[in-house]
Amino acid sequence: MNAREELIRRLAIKRSRQLGSLSTEAFAELELAVRDNPSAFVDDAEEEAFALVAQALAKLNESQHDDDLLDDDQYVQARAQRLARLGASCAQALSLDENCGDALLLQLLAADHSPDELVGRLLDLDVHLDDACGPLSAGATGDAWADVFARPHLRVKAALARTCADTARFAMARATCDDLLALAPLDSLGARLTYALTLARLEDEDGFEWLDVREGRKGNAWFHLSRALLMYKLGRMPAARRALNGYDRLCTGGAYILLQPIFVDTYLPDRPAFEPGSFLEATLAAHEAEPIIADTPDFVWWASEQPGFYDSAVSYCERNGLDWRDPNAP
């Protein structure tokens, strides 16, 4: 979430409404003025609350810079302190605007509920935002993301889809992804990525092919890994090997991260930005696939036995100075 950019956009739109109809050039000038000093344009409780959320997220990101230097106990303590500060900032924002969607979402995520409890709370929040702010609509542009004021609610739905998949509620995950893609077809929040994994777990080859075609068969770590899982689960081993080979070739560090999964913290509030084809992309995809992989216990062993896959993982590890443990060890 680029909270500062969204704040600037929100403030510029609200000020333009106060000023009356502005030309494209005049609005661009206004947006530049807001960018130069956003705080000067915050003049209602709703935007004051959103500004607090933006500040809290900036501080959260800054506080994570030295995490690699901490041992496990220090990290757990630092993380707990970060989440407590984030929760307090959200409470402050909600005292100004009780319907601040991002504050409500972040407050839920910072509370570190169990995934099963989080599903129920996200469902309640989705309904609450429908009641308080009105149901989402694709609007005149055909994509709800174009409305910057709708984005908090879209983030809630995206978090719900991921949490449904994480808790093996795949039918709910599928329905939520369908809803998101209907509301925001350009899919700025990556519902298609959750959807790909969900369809693999449901062994829905037709649905996966439809989604892959919808995305122009461009492929990424989620789609390559999902196809490998789908073909494996369907018992189509030659196709599964081809998909796994594509995943290894096209996803930087894909073999390594599948055989050596690493901890990925809670998304606050949404999936981190990543460079296409990067190791971070592969890491996030493998992390989100963990519930499906856990439900397919032989998949990692099978992958490690495919020609060249294990060697590719070890080679990436050695080139980048990463840790290694035998994935097939007890």
Cβ neighbours of residue 214 closer than 8 Å, sequence gap 6 or more: 192
Residue for token pair 């350009």: 186
Query: What pTM was estimated for this model as a whole?
Result: 0.94
The answer to whether 234 and 205 have CB atoms below 8 angstroms apart is yes
pLDDT digits 0-9 by tens, 295-304: 998 999 999 9
**Residue 186's closest CA among 135, 134, 151?**
151
Residue ranges covered by each domain of the chain: 1-64+77-104, 113-189, 194-330
Give tens-digit pLDDT for 103-132: 999 999 999 899 999 999 999 999 999 999
Is the distance from CB of 157 to CB of 186 less than 8 angstroms? no
Tens digits of residue pLDDT in 3-54: 999 999 999 999 999 998 889 999 999 999 999 999 999 999 999 999 999 9
Torsion sign over Cα 249, 253, 256, 260: negative
The answer to whether 4 and 58 are in contact (CB under 8 A) is yes
pLDDT of residue 330: 59
230-252 pLDDT, tens digit each: 999 999 999 999 999 999 999 99
The confidence score (pLDDT) of residue 233 equals 96
Joined tokens for residue 227:
């196809």
Q: What is the pLDDT of residues 149-178, one digit of tens each?
A: 999 999 999 999 999 999 999 999 999 999
175-218 pLDDT tens trace: 999 999 999 999 999 999 999 999 999 999 999 999 999 999 98
